Structure 1
Amino acid sequence: MKNISSSFFDPIQQTRYIGSENYRKVEHYLEALQALTKLYDLSFYIVDYYKKSFHYVSPNPLFLSGYSQEEVMNLGYDFYPLCVPSDDLELLLLLNKTGFNFFYNLPVSRREKATISYDFRLKHKGNQSVIMINHKLSPLILTDDGNIWMAICLVTLSTRKEPGDVHIIMQDDKTRYNLNIEEKVFEQVKIKKLTNREKEILRYIAIGISTNAIAKKLGISDSTVKNHKTKILKKLNASTSAEAVFFASKQNLI
């Protein structure tokens, strides 16, 4: 029976030989990332697709799920069948396959610009309690021929109730692609126009004005402002107001 963990590497195109000299060349880069861990207490890890392992795992306990930093390093992708519920694991395998199909269809010059984001659950080793996390994966180092060598994965708590919200953001132009699970393909999101009132409210949000203060400025109720916020998030496919402001500013919508 095939190991589930190895299935994560099936979509990866064969990489040319990467020797110890290549690893020494990038070690200073990776050391800088590790230093950031100590400074900001980030939860992240680095995947080595050539060795099919974790190159580094930060000591932040969020991703570790009750295991030690060393244990997760040694487990590598065997960590996932242990700590991810079966339904979520199926989702991860699907988005992994479709995500790399998307990646390899990009021009080599744009492959480093793609970041995939998704939410899934993690089970704690000891008490089996479950948390929902957001997981963002970005290519960190590509080989000379444009294949993925290393990727950085940033882990944060998610506010969503269900796993999913799988999407890719191209960092050069902020184009968003959502995963169509039935068709097993990423589809570009068409931007819906904001009304003048929605733009006005989003500009106030961007400078940190509260819902109550916005309502007073515009002479409307708090609930009306909240309704506008909900519509804005839906139109921009954003999960938070900060994300909506960021996306709208990059797309020159406000």
Structure 2
Amino acid sequence: MESNIKTGDFFSLQNSVESINESDYEKTGLIIEAARAFERSTYQCVYIIDYFKRGFLYVSGNIAKLCGGEAEKIKDFGYRFYIDYVPQEDLKMLIEINNKGFKLFNTIPIGERKDYTISYDFHIMRGKCKRLVNHKLTPLILTKDGRIWLAICTISLAAGNEPGNVIMKKPGAGTFYQYSLYDHKWEERKEIILTDNEREVLSLSTQGYTMNDIADNICKSVDTVKAYKRSIFQKMDVKNIAEALTYAQNHQLI
């Protein structure tokens, strides 16, 4: 079904970028080389958004493994990529996140804006199959008035099961913003603090260690490991280790 969403819908007037000239673009070569180097060192897909030209400055080659499209083709498509590869219901969510994200971003002091990252999950279509991916967007270059000219984005498989999970945060801030798709507003929340043992239990869980293995590794009893897990679940307000690992990944706790 043809989408009624257009590429221009992704570009909010709240981030209208002007007065970028060719001499500015001549300085982007090092940024692209850095993105290529990052691509070689990670499994994540990487691309750079150009909010002045309203397209992509760079798209990593490994994006083909995720969606089946060639990197150069996706680069030429620009934001048409989302319209072609994202289900309609998730597209509407992305537009909402984009608009509300920039509204919040513009309330942050200009000197701090480059420190923030917005993260969210959505589906990408590959043929008839849907894959839930996590998308993280971080500003690279701001204009003098604090608008985003270039932003770097990473895409990886999401750890959760549902689209959404929208978070904007600054590392080390102690608080973060979470967007509710039900109430359509941002809520500021305190970042949880894990003990060293709780963090170690989570780290070992990501490696597939059993409860007994974890107990042996940290020289604690199985009952103590169970207590650590209960504490983690309570702090995160989750029900199982899979949800805890998703939370930890999104909040960079491990």
Residue correspondence of structure 1 range 1-254 to structure 2 within 5 A: 4-61=6-63, 65-124=67-126, 127-191=127-191, 199=195, 201-205=197-201, 208=204, 211-213=211-213, 215=215, 217-218=220-221, 220=223, 226-234=229-237, 239-240=245-246, 243=249, 246-247=252-253
- Contact 1:134/1:158, CA 8 A, preserved across alignment: yes
CA gap of 1:62–1:135, structure 2 versus 1, over 3 A, is farther
Q: CA–CA distance in 2 between the matches of 1:208 and 1:2?
A: 46
- Normalised TM-score (structure 2): 0.82
Q: CA–CA distance in 2 between the matches of 1:85 and 1:241?
A: 24
Q: CA–CA distance in 1 between the matches of 2:131 and 2:97?
A: 20
- Contact 1:214/1:225, CA 8 A, preserved across alignment: no
CA gap of 1:207–1:35, structure 2 versus 1, over 3 A, is closer
1:191-218 CA-partner distances (Å, limit 9, x unpaired): 5677xxxx47415427748532555724
Instruction: Give, as a single letter, the amino acid of the residue that structure 2 aligns with 1:135.
Output: H
Q: CA–CA distance in 1 between the matches of 2:105 and 2:136?
A: 15
Q: Secondary structure at the match of 1:32?
A: helix
Q: CA–CA distance in 1 between the matches of 2:117 and 2:66?
A: 22
Q: Is there any run of 5+ residues in structure 2 with no aligned partner, and where?
A: none
- Contact 2:141/2:150, CA 8 A, preserved across alignment: yes
Aligned residue in 2 for 1:251 = none
CA gap of 1:142–1:229, structure 2 versus 1, over 3 A, is same
Count of residues in correspondence between the two structures:
241
Q: CA–CA distance in 1 between the matches of 2:40 and 2:193?
A: 42
Q: CA deviation at 1:241?
A: 7.5
Instruction: Give, as a single letter, the amino acid of the residue that structure 1 aligns with 2:156.
Output: T
- Contact 2:122/2:134, CA 8 A, preserved across alignment: yes
CA gap of 1:230–1:15, structure 2 versus 1, over 3 A, is same
Instruction: Give, as a single letter, the amino acid of the residue that structure 2 aligns with 1:144.
Output: K
Q: CA deviation at 1:186?
A: 1.6
CA gap of 1:229–1:52, structure 2 versus 1, over 3 A, is same
Instruction: Give, as a single letter, the amino acid of the residue that structure 1 aligns with 2:223.
Output: I
CA gap of 1:176–1:62, structure 2 versus 1, over 3 A, is farther
- Contact 1:141/1:150, CA 8 A, preserved across alignment: yes
Report percent identity of matched pairs.
32
Q: CA–CA distance in 2 between the matches of 1:43 and 1:148?
A: 21
CA gap of 1:81–1:224, structure 2 versus 1, over 3 A, is same
